[in-house]
Amino acid sequence: DGGITQSPKYLFRKEGQNVTLSCEQNLNHDAMYWYRQDPGQGLRLIYYSQIVNDFQKGDIAEGYSVSREKKESFPLTVTSAQKNPTAFYLCASTSERDNEQFFGPGTRLTVL
């Protein structure tokens, strides 16, 4: 079955630590996205990538970094520079033909 996987499902981090969230897709989609969702809020775009080895900042990129070395993978690193990282992080992909986003199950990050 094709889809998007994210790991881990829950992640706890101490202040000052960097953590990396995994996102893998086997849908053969070119475009991938990272969103942040806070309780009771909508999705805000962190980073997106249209093709391998290329990515652009979204609306709230400060304190985050990404890489796109393979079409299937788009990991997100939450750095210590992110002041309030506790949130639900969602990875998504979109094929060029479609205007539909496919989401992974999400990673819930908590900073202790």
- Which stretches of the chain bind another protein, using CB under 8 A? 31, 33, 35, 40-45, 48, 50, 56, 58, 90, 92, 94, 99-106
Min dist. Cβ of residue 3 to another protein (A) = 10
Which pair of structure tokens corresponds to residue 19?
Answer: 């953590």
Min dist. Cβ of residue 112 to another protein (A) = 20
| Residue indicated by tokens 């990515």 | 55
Q: State the DSSP H helix or E strand holding residue 50, giving kind and residue range, or none if neither.
A: strand 43-51
Closest to another protein by CB, 27 vs 103, is: 103
CA atoms of 74 and 108, how far apart (whole Å)? 17
Min dist. Cβ of residue 16 to another protein (A) = 28
Which pair of structure tokens corresponds to residue 69?
Answer: 């070395």
Closest to another protein by CB, 87 vs 92, is: 92
Q: Contact 22/6 with Cβ under 8 angstroms?
A: yes
